[in-house]
Amino acid sequence: MMKEEEHMSFMRRAIALAIEGVESGAGGPFGAVVVKNGEIVGEGYNRVTSSCDPTAHAEIVAMREACQKMNTFQLEGCILYTSCEPCPMCFGAIYWARPDKVYYAATKEDAAEALFDDAFIYKELSLPSSNRRIPFLPLLNQEGKAPFESWMDKEDREAY
């Protein structure tokens, strides 16, 4: 078990990365660190604007790095430290990567004050598709089932 002091030290690294990202012009004020067995296995800061990648949020950058380094697509036994409570995209990414737990410093409300309004996306998620700002429209549902048939027929499929 890690001591509270160690958790704080990793969180301070995530916060320092967030500030470094702002100062270097990489992107928004967010940093994250992935730790396994008391060691950093992935880290990063937001790079959305500098890398032309809307998905390059700090948590995703750090988790992708950790996965590359450990040659896995699962973060069992890992802890994610993020300088701010995750947005819905990063929340989903966390659930797919499955670290053991997540520590966050600033809250969604702090982010909203700096005009990062993740709350808007959380709200849209709860609306029926027809009422959303970005329309989500069904098309070719029957044909769309074919890939699942290929998947179920594949004997050596690797679930995730």
Cβ distance to a second copy smaller for residue 40 or 124: 124
Give least dist CB 37 to a second copy, A: 18
Catalytic positions are 59
Shortest Å distance, C-beta 99 to a second copy:
7
- Give the nearest distance from C-beta 87 to a second copy in angstroms: 6
Exposure class string for 104-135: b at 16+ Cβ within 10 A, else e = bbbebeebeeeebebeeeeeeeeeeeeeeeee
Residue placing its CB nearer to a second copy in the complex, 1 or 159: 159
Q: Which is nearer to a second copy, 39 or 152 (CB)?
A: 152
Pair 88, 122: CB distance under 8 Å: yes
CA–CA–CA angle 63, 64, 70 (5° rounding): 90
What is the distance of C-alpha 24 from the center of its chain? 21
Minimum distance from residue 36 beta carbon to a second copy (Å): 15
Cα separation, 135 vs 143, in Å, equals: 21
- Residue bearing tokens 């928004």: 28
Cβ proximity to a second copy, 38 vs 138, nearer residue: 138
Kindly state the tokens that stand for 85: 């409570």
